[in-house]
């Protein structure tokens, strides 16, 4: 049985700090995806929204909010929330409905308006909430967790702060001509190393910002795409949204601790590794087949972790790829040709969809100014709070 679905259209609202409603960005992205596919909104049978938790009730029922803003058309509706993997989970819902024969055309939309500075917990005392307690009892911020991972790379594999800066330099260059990127400016290694240290060993420019933005993907059955004259569409080959397997022994935001491996031994593969493993298994390909990757560089050092988590090289060797230029456009396995979170900043419910938008443009040869020549297979990866994560494989 062929379980492919077609990416008929993709669209984004540029990332930035625009100060408008998330609905504005979502509708803009949705209309761009519909126009890209040449499909009318009235033909959409299912809309799936990526929930935003910072924008009140409208954000909690994002699917319906976008549907109403686009004009009620009678489509079925769903809303997904999976932290940073929200977009991928929404995409998975849309794909399943298409493969189940319940609709031929499904529109997936995610958009967010985010606050400035550290992502801090909501106000009020909550002594049973780990996300509140980590600030109260330890002053542990999100960059603090990113810094723990970065420091392990330094002590275990010999990574340096200059390596982390080189990731930022590369991604800044990649994003220079991306019209949807928020930051389009060359950054030098000195700029990174001279920026303030936030959480040792990470500098301010090693850590991604939070942004406003919106992204949308229009999925259709292969049959519909063919009848609609979309020849040779980019196809979704896999959407992995697996959860961790107990015991989860890697320190994870916003927790105080990991599970204990004293009774049940730790798994051979970490949660992040299992996300990619499941995607490869579902797509029936291996890491050697991948031509381009979009990974979640919440920090520069995390990009290096992801390269290994996706088995694009052995553990501890990502710095070698970086230094050899392998992960730069034109190299063996370009990573974050969009510019990544370094150039976008994070717009949580839109980000996993933005990764898929970028790979779609790459595989169509439409990524002007940042094209990975001959890209045939792309993979995404991200991880969010509370056991969420995703990896999507697309191919043409």
Partner 1 sequence: MTATPAIEGWFTTGAAPALLGSRCTDCGTVYFPRELVFCKNPACSGETFEEYAFSRTGKVWSYTDAQYQPPPPYVPVADPYVPFALAAVELEEGLVVLGQVADGYGVADLKVGTPVELVVETLYTDDTGDRTIWRWKPVGRSSEPGRSSAVETPGGAG
Residues at the site binding partner 1, with contacts judged by CB under 8 A = 117-118, 120-121, 123, 125, 127, 130, 132-141, 144, 147-152, 155-156, 196-202, 245-247, 249-251, 255-264, 266, 270
For partner 1, the closer CB: 292 or 381: 381
For partner 1, the closer CB: 76 or 152: 152
Q: CA-CA distance, 180 to 13, in Å (whole number)?
A: 7
Three-state helix/strand/coil letters over 73-111: CCCEEEEECECECHHHHHHHHHHHHHHCCCCCEEEEEEE
For partner 1, the closer CB: 261 or 366: 261
Do 276 and 379 contact (CB within 8 A), yes or no?
Answer: yes
Q: Which of 276, 282, 271 is nearest to 294 (CA)?
A: 276
Task: Please report how close the Cβ of residue 171 comes to partner 1 at its closest, in angstroms.
Answer: 22
For partner 1, the closer CB: 112 or 309: 309
The neighbouring-strand residues paired with 210 are 346
Q: CA-CA distance, 120 to 108, in Å (whole number)?
A: 28
For partner 1, the closer CB: 72 or 246: 246
Q: CA-CA distance, 345 to 364, in Å (whole number)?
A: 25
Task: Please report how close the Cβ of residue 135 comes to partner 1 at its closest, in angstroms.
Answer: 5
Task: Please report how close the Cβ of residue 317 comes to partner 1 at its closest, in angstroms.
Answer: 15
For partner 1, the closer CB: 61 or 119: 119
Task: Please report how close the Cβ of residue 265 comes to partner 1 at its closest, in angstroms.
Answer: 8
Q: CA-CA distance, 79 to 50, in Å (whole number)?
A: 6
Task: Please report how close the Cβ of residue 119 comes to partner 1 at its closest, in angstroms.
Answer: 9
Q: Which of 287, 227, 279, 224 is nearest to 91 (CA)?
A: 279
b/e code 7-41 from CB counts within 10 Å (16+ = b): bbbbbbbbbbeeeebbbbbbbbbbebbbebbebeb
Task: Please report how close the Cβ of residue 247 comes to partner 1 at its closest, in angstroms.
Answer: 8
Q: CA-CA distance, 5 to 224, in Å (whole number)?
A: 10
Task: Please report how close the Cβ of residue 151 comes to partner 1 at its closest, in angstroms.
Answer: 5
Q: Which of 248, 293, 280 is nearest to 388 (CA)?
A: 248
Pairing relation of β-strands 377-383 and 292-295?
parallel
The whole-angstrom distance between residue 287's C-alpha and the CA centroid of its chain comes to 18
**How far, CA to CA in Å, does 227 sit from each of 54, 71, 217, 265?**
40, 26, 19, 52
For partner 1, the closer CB: 60 or 135: 135
For partner 1, the closer CB: 200 or 373: 200
For partner 1, the closer CB: 105 or 208: 208
Task: Please report how close the Cβ of residue 6 comes to partner 1 at its closest, in angstroms.
Answer: 37
Task: Please report how close the Cβ of residue 368 comes to partner 1 at its closest, in angstroms.
Answer: 38
Q: Which of 308, 311, 69, 116 is nearest to 210 (CA)?
A: 116
């Amino acid at each position: 049985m062929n379980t492919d679905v077609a990416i008929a259209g993709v669209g984004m609202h540029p990332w930035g700090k625009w100060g408008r409603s998330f609905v504005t960005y979502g509708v803009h992205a949705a209309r761009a995806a519909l126009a890209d596919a040449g499909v009318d909104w009235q033909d959409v049978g299912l809309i799936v929204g990526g929930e935003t938790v910072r924008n009140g009730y409208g954000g909690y029922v994002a699917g319906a909010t976008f549907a109403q803003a686009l004009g009620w058309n009678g489509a079925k509706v769903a809303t997904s929330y999976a932290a940073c993997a929200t977009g991928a989970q929404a995409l998975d819902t849309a794909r399943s409905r298409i493969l189940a024969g319940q609709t031929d055309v499904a529109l997936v939309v995610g958009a967010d308006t985010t606050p400035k500075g550290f992502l801090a917990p909501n106000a009020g005392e909550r002594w049973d909430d780990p996300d509140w307690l980590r600030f109260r009892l330890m002053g542990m911020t999100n960059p603090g967790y990113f810094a723990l991972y970065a420091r392990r790379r330094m002590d275990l594999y010999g990574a340096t702060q200059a390596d982390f800066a080189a990731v930022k330099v590369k991604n800044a260059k990649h994003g220079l001509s991306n019209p949807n990127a928020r930051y389009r400016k060359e950054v030098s290694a000195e700029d990174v190393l001279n920026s303030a240290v936030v959480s040792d060993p990470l500098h301010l420019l090693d850590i991604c910002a939070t942004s406003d933005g919106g992204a949308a993907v229009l999925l259709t059955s292969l049959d519909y795409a063919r009848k609609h004259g979309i020849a040779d569409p980019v196809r979704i080959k896999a959407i992995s949204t697996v959860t961790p397997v107990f015991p989860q022994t890697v320190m994870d935001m916003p927790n105080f601790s990991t599970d204990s491996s004293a009774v049940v031994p730790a798994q051979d593969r970490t949660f992040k590794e299992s996300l990619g493993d499941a995607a490869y298994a579902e797509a029936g390909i291996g890491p050697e087949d991948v031509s381009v990757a979009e990974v979640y560089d919440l920090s520069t050092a995390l990009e290096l972790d992801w390269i290994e988590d996706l088995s694009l090289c052995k553990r501890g060797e990502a710095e070698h790829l970086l230094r050899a230029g392998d992960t730069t456009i034109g190299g063996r396995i370009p990573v974050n040709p969009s510019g990544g979170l370094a150039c976008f900043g994070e717009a949580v419910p839109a980000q996993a969809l933005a990764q898929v938008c970028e790979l779609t443009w790459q595989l169509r040869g439409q990524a002007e100014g940042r094209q990975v020549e001959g890209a045939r297979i792309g993979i995404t990866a991200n991880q969010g709070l509370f056991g969420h994560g995703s990896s999507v494989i697309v191919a043409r």
